[in-house]
Structure 1
Amino acid sequence: MKISIIGKTVTITEGMREAITEKLSKCEKYLKESTPVKVLIRTVKDDQIIEVSIPIEKNKVIRAERRSKDLYEAIDMVEEVLARQLRKQKEKMLEKKRIPINSVLETEKELEEHYLVGKEKQFDLEMMKPEEAIEEMECLDHDFHIFMNILDGRIGVVYKRKEYGYGLLSANM
């Protein structure tokens, strides 16, 4: 594991570096020695935020972010989340190696059950502006809303951001 620690609006002290390295070293058993681990520490108002990104496989990244008034508490919390995510990922990998999917799961229905699709919903996309989509999302008390953007004709998703405000995703076709 190669840990790189960056401070954004924070100066990284040797004590911080040691605490982060010590906590994240508990996750070494799930990773290769050469795996790059990126740690970003920043502050927002009185909160200390630690964000850790670990690339695994081809295009997959495990990411965890925690905030607390105390940085060392946030480090503990992010380590717990990462360990859980890495353990789950390792279990999935072992499961794939044990049971060849092609021989066991033959129909689409069996594939859906294997990936545990709990609910499927279909709906018509409504043409609206992003502001209207946000209002709709708030009325429905959802965390995101999919719509057809009347301004550019693309499919869009508005979502609530953790820190503040909203985000907009647009799909190119």
Structure 2
Amino acid sequence: MDTSIVGVGVGITDRFRTVVEEKTARIETLAARAQRLDVKVTHRAYHNGRVPDETVELTLLGKGPVIRAEATDPDKFAALDLALDKMTEQLRRAKRKRVDARTDARGAHFEKGSGALTGIDVQPASVDVIHAVATGTIPVVAEEEEEYSPVVIRTKEFDAEWMTVEEAVDRMELVGHDFFLFIDARTDHPSVVYRRKGWDYGVISLTAQAPPAEALAS
């Protein structure tokens, strides 16, 4: 596995490179398909008397999904340890889940006979809501003066990926998130898997119906 180390606002010493090489060896034992590990160290200085900190970002690239982890600490060596612990835990959880899936039918799986999805909660969107969206009959609410809010809403856009529910759960575990958006390869429905208690997961799917003929004619 190749390792790339870059610094933003901070120099990368030979000692830090040596420590990275030594400590990332455990990543290779858990991710045999990994091809490259990118390590980014960012130094942030503050002007209000706050102690400067170092953020270490890890990005693991290979034949499987991209895996990321990061941590911040005044000491970049401590931040490296924290980030490695996070990534190691993500890889272990994903590996443990794959082993459990082979030995115990926990979590989501499809019955071969009926094709039914069991072991996972499916909560499709309301038919009334889908129909209202498809036909454009959502009630119009009079606009009111927008209230100031200190909350900043961040938006992100990603390319759609088709995969099974099981693959989506694996991807969610690898990236360390509590939910994951995808297109269900079996139904072509936009869906999201999410974490519940313990090893339980849920999935919500959006099903759309074609609008009636009279709506199209209008």
TM-score (norm 2): 0.50
Q: Which moved more, 1:65-74 or 1:20-29?
A: 20-29
Q: 103, 106, 110: which one pairs with 1:102?
A: 110
Q: Determine the structure 2 residue equivalent to 1:151.
A: none
Determine if contact 1:56/1:62 at 8 Å carries over to the other structure. Answer: no
Q: Determine the structure 2 residue equivalent to 1:30.
A: 30
Counterpart CA distance in 1 for 2:90 and 2:66 is: 11
In structure 2, the gaps of 5 or more residues are 46-51, 160-218
In structure 1, the gaps of 5 or more residues are 139-143, 145-157, 159-166
Q: Map 1:14-163 onto structure 2 (within 5 A).
A: 14-32=14-32, 35-45=35-45, 46-58=52-64, 60-98=65-103, 101-103=109-111, 106-108=115-117, 110-113=118-121, 135=149, 138=151, 158=153
Counterpart CA distance in 2 for 1:57 and 1:14 is: 29
Alpha-carbon displacement from aligned partner over 1:72-123 (angstroms, at most 9, x marks no partner)? 1111111111110110121233344456833479424x2524xxx8x99989
Bigger helix share: 1
User: Residues 171 and 91 of structure 1: is their aligned pair in 2 closer, same or farther, counting only changes over 3 Å?
Assistant: closer
For these two proteins, the number of residue pairs brought into alignment is: 136
> What amino acid maps onto 1:70 in structure 2?
D
Alpha-carbon displacement from aligned partner over 1:121-164 (angstroms, at most 9, x marks no partner)? 9899999xxxx6993x84xxxxx8xxxxxxxxxxxxx2xxxxxx
User: Residues 120 and 80 of structure 1: is their aligned pair in 2 closer, same or farther, counting only changes over 3 Å?
Assistant: farther
Determine if contact 2:6/2:40 at 8 Å carries over to the other structure. Answer: yes
Determine if contact 1:2/1:33 at 8 Å carries over to the other structure. Answer: no
Counterpart CA distance in 2 for 1:133 and 1:55 is: 44
Q: Determine the structure 1 residue equivalent to 2:13.
A: 13
> What amino acid maps onto 2:84 in structure 1?
E
Structure 2 SS opposite 1:67: strand
The alpha carbon displacement at 1:47 in A equals 0.7
Structure 2 SS opposite 1:41: strand
Determine if contact 1:23/1:75 at 8 Å carries over to the other structure. Answer: no
Cα root mean square deviation, aligned = 3.9
User: Residues 77 and 133 of structure 1: is their aligned pair in 2 closer, same or farther, counting only changes over 3 Å?
Assistant: farther
Which of 1 and 2 has higher RCO (CA within 8 Å, sep 6+)?
Answer: 2
TM-score (norm 1): 0.61
Alpha-carbon displacement from aligned partner over 1:18-71 (angstroms, at most 9, x marks no partner)? 11121211222112275211111111121111000113554x221111010011
